[in-house]
Amino acid sequence: MTGAGSGIGRGTAKSLAARGAEVVVADINYATAKDTVALIRSAGGAAVPYALDVGDPLALEAFANYVAAAHGVPDVVVNNAGIVVGGPFFDIRPADLHRIADVNLTAIVHGCRLFGAQMAERGHGGHLVNVSSIAAFAPVRLGTPYAFTSAGIKHFSETLRTELASEGIGVTVVCPGLIATNLAATATLATLSPEQVAIARQIVVKGMSLIGMHPDRAGEKIVAAAENNRALLALRPESWLAYVLTRAFPRTSRTLMRVISGPEVERVARFVIDHPGFLGVAREAAEIMPQRRGLQTYWEPPEYDDPPAPPIPLRR
């Protein structure tokens, strides 16, 4: 599974291992992938780490080939890696748009193509899990790249589920709400200074740790959804509510999102964060803000290990 070095990915990897699965823990950060593997092994499970940038199609293909050769065709594949790019759409750099599309959407499409083909050729079925977001349901201003990639994952997954049913391959799309993850730590935010971004990351990550679902609990629910071959898992009440509202009352939902995140709110927020005295107050608030203990929490992304050479496949 991808993006398994932290957050939902780590929680799902632990849940799969607890059910007896041998888990290949892939993450762009090899250090955090190894940490997840250590946790699984300490609990008596089986896991191996793998350094992978899912935004690189050739690396993703090499990963799929390695898994099949060294561990066999997988029964369950979880495409979880994702990043956030936010801010006014016209101010977002083209490079950041390409990166979020490559990581959040194209990588999932390729992952399903590569591993789904292995499952189909084997002839024993399997299951693909694609992690999207609550943003798949709601038009979030200042989060257009994240929202369109999330919606793309959802529709792609539902379409692929229809196509692969005859192969005995199930597809589940997961749309989480508030989960205590470090997703904000890698966010790219247009029009904010580096110091403003650093403070915002710390506040958001701490806030998510307080009100978000524990990643281990999220992982348990995801694995249960795969076991039951659910088409869609709206993970948390707010995600389920957004799903229902956008289906039953699309116009009302768009209006509500327009009010909540409209330009008036943006102007007030912009005035506050650009005020000369804001940074000092915000920095102090971020430092004293409490956080839930026992979580893997960081608001600056840990430095990436130099990815090692792909392991030599060991054929069974």
So which residues are the catalytic ones? 146
DSSP state, residue 86: E
Q: Which residues pair with 86 in a beta bridge?
A: 189
The amino acid present at 124, given as its one-letter code, is: H
Look at the block and give the residue holding tokens 């979020």: 100
On whether the CB atoms of residues 85 and 100 are closer than 8 A, the answer is yes
* Those residues with Cβ within 8 angstroms of residue 234's Cβ, 6 or more apart along the chain or in another chain: 134, 175, 177, 240, 242, 243
211's tokens: 């009100």
Instruction: Give CA–CA dist 199/274, Å, rounded.
Output: 13
Q: Which residues pair with 111 in a beta bridge?
A: none
58's tokens: 């050739």
On whether the CB atoms of residues 232 and 173 are closer than 8 A, the answer is yes
